[in-house]
Structure formats: C-alpha cells, structure tokens
Amino acid sequence: MTDEELNKAFELAVERINNYKEPYPADLLLRLYAYYKKATNNYNRPSSKKQIINAFKTNALFQIQSVDSNEAKKAYIELVDNYFLYRK
C-alpha cells in the first residue's frame, strides 16, 4: 500500500468512526485515541477535565510509544474494520 493509499484509508476510517452515533467501548476508544495521536504526530497533552481519563489516555500513548506513524495508521484502520465487521 502506498503512502497515499494508506492516508486515504486512514482518513476513511476516521470518518467512519466519527459518523457512527452509537457509544463505543472505552477500551476501543483508548486504543483509537492513541493510534490517532501517533498517526497524526499530535503530541499535545490529553485535555479531559477529569484527571483519571487523562491518565488512561497517557497510558495508552505510552503503550504504543515504539509504533511509527504508518504502523499507527494501519493499526487504527484494522481496529475500525474489526469493530464494524459484524455491525451494520
């Protein structure tokens, strides 16, 4: 997959997640958050008003610290595809 194809697939996966209106499991949200931040090279600190949520987000980012941007995009796409595999 070329970089252009990967970027397009990533953008479609992000759009798919953002357009779905049902609640997501918390563990999925944390993994999506971490991979999205890593894929977009966004290193801003978590900004939740609740410190416990910021701690979970920071931990999720820490767990994927050795993942590069393209790997993060692929992981994000795979998470989205697997989540929606049996949903319509």
Round to whole Å and give the CA distance between 22 and 60: 22
Rounded Cα–Cα distance for residues 20 and 13 (Å): 11
The model's pTM: 0.90
Q: Which fold has domain 3-84?
A: Acyl-CoA Binding Protein (1.20.80)
pLDDT at 88: 60
Give tens-digit pLDDT for 34-67: 999 999 998 787 777 889 888 999 999 999 999 9
> So where are the chain's domains?
3-84
Res 46: pLDDT: 79
